[in-house]
Amino acid sequence: MSRFSLQYLRGDLFGGITTTVVSLPMALAFGVASGAGAQAGLYGAILVGLFAALFGGSRTLISEPTGPMTVVMTAVVTTLIAANPEHGLTLAFTVVMLAGAFQVLLGALKLGRYITLMPYSVISGFMSGIGLLLIILQVAPMLGYPTPPGGVHGLIAALPGMIENMRFGEIALGAFSLIGLFFMPDSWRRKVPPALSILIAGTLFSFVLPGADELRRIGAVPMGLPSLHVPLLTYDLLAKILVDAMILGVLGAIDTTLTAMIADSLTRSQHDTNRELIGQGVGNMLSGLFGGLPGAGATMGTVVSIEAGARTPIAAVIRSLLLLVVVLFAAPLTQHIPMAVLAGIAVKVGVNILDWSFLKRAHRVSLTATLIMYGVLFLTVFVDLIVAVGVGVFIANILTIERLSKVQSRQIKTIAMADDHVVMSEEEKRLFALARERVVLFYLSGPMIFGVAKAIAREHAALQDSEVLILDLTDVPLLGTTVCLSLENVIEDALADRRKVLVVTASDEVQARLARLEVVQDEPAIQFMDSRLEALQTALQLIEPPPKEEQTA
């Protein structure tokens, strides 16, 4: 409740009213585009927006159906209705509820901080792919036909027939919408939200077109409170829809987290990611229960609300209540809206989703990042969303690990005499000189991940004959399991050659990890040292016969 305050009530009121005007056409467009109906878009905007505001962790986030969530929901609705015509839509809303439950679980387990740990090239390709998908899926409504089943592949197969029998009235409306959205003067945009003005103008224009009676329109939107959609779950069905729910939940979490970060930068505040995921999850669970679309933090609505003066969740609550008034009392006003106009609005949203900033300069940043981005984009559009993200993250992480491993490999040195590869004190250099290559220093620096195991094996093979091996881990803050086992081979070979082993580590964590893996067991030939200087002093005492300087002394 600390997020709520009447101090900014005037700004919250303006923010809520302004965002309602922006949200209404978007909710209608996304509801129609998803195949679940305009009312599903409205119910999603109301329920997700209200409960995410009440239970979330951000002060200014506006949550509602978004382009990325709608694309995934469209695929879910189409697939499930095709597989089960009788209960397909109920199953789709069950997916929304499960996605919400998954988001609550992410937040409860405090996994929110991991949501954005994804390479930007993958996020960019994924979001641009979703934007392109949203644009492509509007081709059929712009030509005067419902979107065929089968996604992009189904659309491509049906496209020749649609073009041959295209409906020019629908095309004119779609073109009118796009021209108005893209070329509306900025002075008008500042006064009236473009989507709302095009929605009204396009609807009025449709009545004067030839063949106005044959145009595809939204139709009657049910007035009153929504009916319950009781989850339809069996073990067989759960196995089929669980993956869809996880995709929807993760996508909503990413979308929300990124938008919340934008809101933080605009308001100089800090959101609670885990709590926000719980709020989003509760909103999506209730939205699915009442037949609404899934939602997430919406960048456009959030920015508009903040710019209008909103500073607390009261703005989001006001917006949801105003949308509820529309559904309860003004739903008949929306039944004459042409489908082609809503398709034009959805196309504009898709264009906005495309990551133009990165698309323009990706080739200048890195060829690898560019290939990953376009690869993820292609897979998102033509294969599968989860495959796109999975393949993109896997390849990006493998390449990152390879680069890190190359950098870290340079920090692994085998030294038999003092040189410039390792910074040493004058006393350490003097002791090294006395040892005369009978003491070898095996030096590691920085976090040691599994990718450097090969470099350790290479340096291990290059170890010269010596009487004492000093394993210097002083500058190692992190030791991976694979590296521990590689070091175990180094130590075992040294002991087999009857060398003494001195292990230097300043980190209790590294020492404990070696002990847990039993890399350094209770061997009299192995000793732990607190510093490299102490290890060199001990090594000189272990050398037989002692150096000449010590004999003279």
Q: What is the mean pLDDT of the segment spanning 333-350?
A: 86
pLDDT digits (tens, 9 = 90+) for 374-384: 998 999 888 87
Q: What is the mean pLDDT of the segment spanning 477-486?
A: 77
Per-domain boundaries in the chain: 6-399, 410-552
Residues contacting 151, CB < 8 A, separation 6+: 75, 78, 137
pLDDT digits (tens, 9 = 90+) for 298-329: 888 888 888 878 889 999 999 999 999 988 88
- pTM, two decimal places: 0.73
Peptide bond into 545 cis (omega under 30): yes
More confidently predicted of 262 and 385:
262
Looking at residue 451, its pLDDT comes to 67
Q: Where are the alpha helices (DSSP H) in 383-452?
A: 385-409, 426-435
Secondary structure string (H, E, C) spanning 269-300: CCCCHHHHHHHHHHHHHHHHHCCCCCCEECHH
**In Å, how far are 40, 128, 206 from 222, measured between CA atoms?**
10, 34, 23
Residue 503 scores a pLDDT above 80: yes
Q: Yes or no: say if 65 and 294 are a contact pair by the CB < 8 Å rule.
A: yes
**Cα 362 versus chain centre, distance:** 19
For the chain, the maximum distance between any two Cα atoms, rounded to a whole number of angstroms, is 113
Q: How confident is the model at residue 419 (pLDDT cuts 50, 70, 90)?
A: low
Q: Yes or no: say if 136 and 152 are a contact pair by the CB < 8 Å rule.
A: yes
Residue 84 scores a pLDDT above 80: yes
Looking at residue 553, its pLDDT comes to 46
Secondary structure string (H, E, C) spanning 141-184: HHHCCCCCCCHHHHHHHHHHHHHHCCCHHHHHHHHHHHHHHHHC
Q: Using alpha carbons, select from 510, 25, 33, 520 the residue that is nearest to residue 293.
A: 33
Q: What is the mean pLDDT of the segment spanning 227-232?
A: 81
State the chain's mean pLDDT as an integer: 83
How many helices (H) and strands (E) would you count in the chain? Answer: 24, 7
> Cα-flanking dihedrals φ and ψ of residue 236, to 5°?
-65, -45
More confidently predicted of 97 and 525:
97
Q: Report the alpha-carbon distance of residue 224 to residue 150 in Å, rounded.
A: 33
Q: Which two tokens stand for residue 84?
A: 């089960």
3.40.47.10, 3.30.750.24, 3.40.50.970, 3.30.420.40: CATH of 410-552: 3.30.750.24
Q: Using alpha carbons, select from 297, 380, 303 the residue that is nearest to residue 121.
A: 380
Q: Yes or no: say if 61 and 297 are a contact pair by the CB < 8 Å rule.
A: yes
| Amino acid, single-letter form, for residue 447 | P
Out of 173-177, 439-443, 467-471, give the one with best mean pLDDT.
173-177
Residue 49 scores a pLDDT above 90: yes
Q: Report the alpha-carbon distance of residue 87 to residue 506 in Å, rounded.
A: 63
Looking at residue 517, its pLDDT comes to 62
Looking at residue 552, its pLDDT comes to 45
